[in-house]
Structure 1
Amino acid sequence: MKKSKKMSELLEEVRLWNTPAIGGYLLYRFTQGYVAGDSNGEAPIAIHHFIAIAILTSDKLKAPISNMRENLQSYVRSFEENRNSDILLGLQERIKEKFLYSWSSIDMAVANGLLFWDFDEARLYANPIEKKPSYGHAPKGQLKKDGEKAEILGKWFSQHDITSISSYLKILL
């Protein structure tokens, strides 16, 4: 009986963490990082968000993301150095698998005022939040860490055009 209870708790945790609300928050933080890192303060084009969500929702793909790494190239090298290039090579398929989740996350973020569209350039901008979340309502634990990783990834992406990003990550657009 204990085993089934643990399993149901685990399934509930997976269900909660895979909601588009979590994805929307991660994309919001990713966009903030991108805008902060871009020399002109431009926002990422929408395709960046599909790549980002595929990375940020995988423990193995997001693990090497940290301020200790200099850039996207260093991130990619980490997989090669650790003989884990197959993980990175799976990114293409993961982007396809997460396609609907990515759209739902974007919709959720837009509907809740975290992101807004520039339809002319297909860019998603982060809305500035005027007040900090009250005590007890701010992201906690792993979600906060994942948000920080999303921001770092956004900064890395802002240093390259989409062609370079897809080349580094070995994905076809």
Structure 2
Amino acid sequence: MRTLDLTKDFQLSSPKPNVGAPITPMQFTTVDGGPITIGGPKDRWTLLVVYRGKHCPRCKRYLNKFNAMLSDWTALMNVVVVSADSLEKAQLDKAEFGWEFDLCYGLTEPQMRSLGLYVSDPLSEAETTTRFAEPGTFAIRPDGKLMLVDISNGPASRPDLDELLDGMRFNIENNRPVRGTA
């Protein structure tokens, strides 16, 4: 019987983000042209959702459900959604689906790596033409510290939005400590 070698068999594409530590500030641009910075002190919590991009039908279903719940989310925290897509691709998605959240574009590979995201090469030019991030969800406290991380190496695994909202509401209302720091 083979035993797992945790140093060789489970290697992330980037180091895990440090929950409980300040997140590296990053600036994104919304499709509406405004800058958004995550990290650093804010007046409320922030939820950062990273999606694969225009080429991903699962992302669109997920973000459509997220958009339908948006008022529940924005009552609780700021919401930022970003991909590595170009401005043009992000504008097309926003126009087609009527998304109301702050949709950002141009996530860079260094930003992907600093978030600990898995990074994929396109399977073909029909998919997309540049590297892109696999899904990730990050909850950031008002002091800029990372509270919650959920990353996936593919489109089929993402947090259930109802459960995540309920859990975040509980964490915020009860000032719960960061878990999973060891």
Question: For this structure pair, what is the TM-score category when the shorter chain's length is used for normalisation?
Answer: under 0.3
> Which one scores higher on RCO, CA 8 angstroms, separation ≥ 6?
1
Select the structure that is richer in strand.
2
Select the structure that is richer in helix.
1
- Normalising by structure 2, report the TM-score: 0.25
- Normalising by structure 1, report the TM-score: 0.25
